[in-house]
Amino acid sequence: MSLDYGTLSDATDHLHDEWVLHQLVNVLDYARARDYRGWDLYDGESSRLLRALPVDNKWLNLVFQQAVRRAPVNVRPLLRVEQRRNFMGIALFAIANFRAYELTGQRRFLDDGRELVEWLVDNRSTGYSGFCGGHKHPLQGLDYRNEPNVPGIVGTAYAVEALLLAAAHVDDRYREVALTAADFVFEDLEYATHPDGARIKYKPLDTGENYTLNANALGARLLINLYEASGDSRLREAATNILDYVAAQQTPEGGWLYRDPPESSHLSKDNFHNGFIVESFLRYGDVTGSERYASTLDTALPFYRGLFTDAGAPHNDERHEYPRDVHSSAQGAVVFSMLGDEFAQPVIRWAVENLSNGKGRFYYERRRYYTKRITLMRWCEATMAHGLAHYLRRDAE
């Protein structure tokens, strides 16, 4: 499909929706041509060279994992890292395809959305209380190793959103599958009351010694989406309790650290994780009409806006400008579009001008003196497809 909506230079003075649609179609074309398969950020253990070695060693796994994560150029072909579909990435691509179908009426977007959602259902994690999913590659940590298909709330939250869109466009049976994800949250993630509300684990294998704040916010967003689809007041109550807990962890500056307690992570108040939290509070208000978190957002929104330059370039966190991550640009497009804020336009424009080839291929990050021109299918392409689609559907939110 070819859409001639002008060149990048045509859009520098004014970001037209037609130009953004052109970018979205380009991203989806790039991913579709590769069957939505590609490399991911922490996929070093998918190296055929590593798997051919006669030992399975934690430190060796970490060397391969961090080598592909930190290298200034893409060493994955050299290390023969396999390209796969990613559960969260497929969810984001499904959402973007359904939105592209709504915008264009082009049947191929509907067909791709249907196929991708069916893949999510077929490739969900099994042995858990409800619908859920996780990465298809192993992930070595210092304390433990995540095996493939261990589910997490982040990918599951976006997969549920994709299923609910499929229910609207394809078949209502997807809604019934999505509703079972509530049991995953309550049972496998051990939803539990807390003095500030309630909280959940990021993954079932977590010890409960710390809690990831953006994951809790996205869990609440999952539940409020299911509440909208079902009218089940229990889901709204649980979402409220989790967001009460997240709101209580807000720092005086208006942002959120990565974990509770803060010392359990090296991450500070980074850009896109704070974007996930802000998005979740906004979504709660959109669905319920409640202003329960108005004061939380009154301080969160100026802080979040301060994580971008006036030109739309994302800061890494509240202390560091670099690296400027494409994921932060994509999430900025989502949040500012939800707010009806025209600042979404320079955020998108900066990402296209500085982190893409202008033809649908996006790059990982901009360092102070160079750009990592590595294209990761989930981290770059899927997140930007989602952000661009969200911007184009802003009037329908």
CB-based contact 242:192 (threshold 8 Å):
no
Contacts of 295 (CB under 8 A, 6+ apart): none
The 3-state secondary structure of 67-86 reads HHHHCCCCCHHHHCECCECC
How far apart CA 300 and CA 261 sit, in angstroms, is 19
CB-based contact 325:365 (threshold 8 Å):
yes
How far apart CA 240 and CA 13 sit, in angstroms, is 42
Pick the residue with more confidence: 143 or 273? 273
How far apart CA 175 and CA 164 sit, in angstroms, is 5
User: Would you state the pLDDT for residue 5?
Assistant: 37
How far apart CA 365 and CA 351 sit, in angstroms, is 10
Q: Which ranges of the chain would DSSP assign to H, the alpha helix?
A: 17-33, 48-52, 58-70, 76-79, 87-104, 107-122, 153-169, 173-179, 181-183, 213-230, 233-248, 271-288, 294-305, 326-338, 344-354, 383-392
Q: Which of 50-64, 94-108, 220-234 has the lowest mean pLDDT?
A: 50-64
- List the structure tokens of 256: 């959120």
Q: Is 308 helix (H, G, I), strand (E, B) or coil?
A: strand
Give the pLDDT confidence of 14-45 residue by residue, as tens digits: 457 899 999 999 999 999 999 999 999 999 88
How far apart CA 381 and CA 395 sit, in angstroms, is 23
CB-based contact 302:254 (threshold 8 Å):
yes
Average pLDDT score over the chain: 93
How far apart CA 357 and CA 362 sit, in angstroms, is 7
Give the pLDDT confidence of 250-291 residue by residue, as tens digits: 999 999 999 999 998 888 999 999 999 999 999 999 999 999
Q: What is the mean pLDDT of residues 343-348?
A: 96
Q: Residue 302: which of 365, 366, 252 has the closest Cα? A: 252
- List the structure tokens of 374: 């590595």
Contacts of 187 (CB under 8 A, 6+ apart): 128, 129, 130
CB-based contact 152:160 (threshold 8 Å):
no
User: Would you state the pLDDT for residue 351?
Assistant: 98
Give the pLDDT confidence of 209-223 residue by residue, as tens digits: 999 999 999 999 999
6 pLDDT more than 70: no
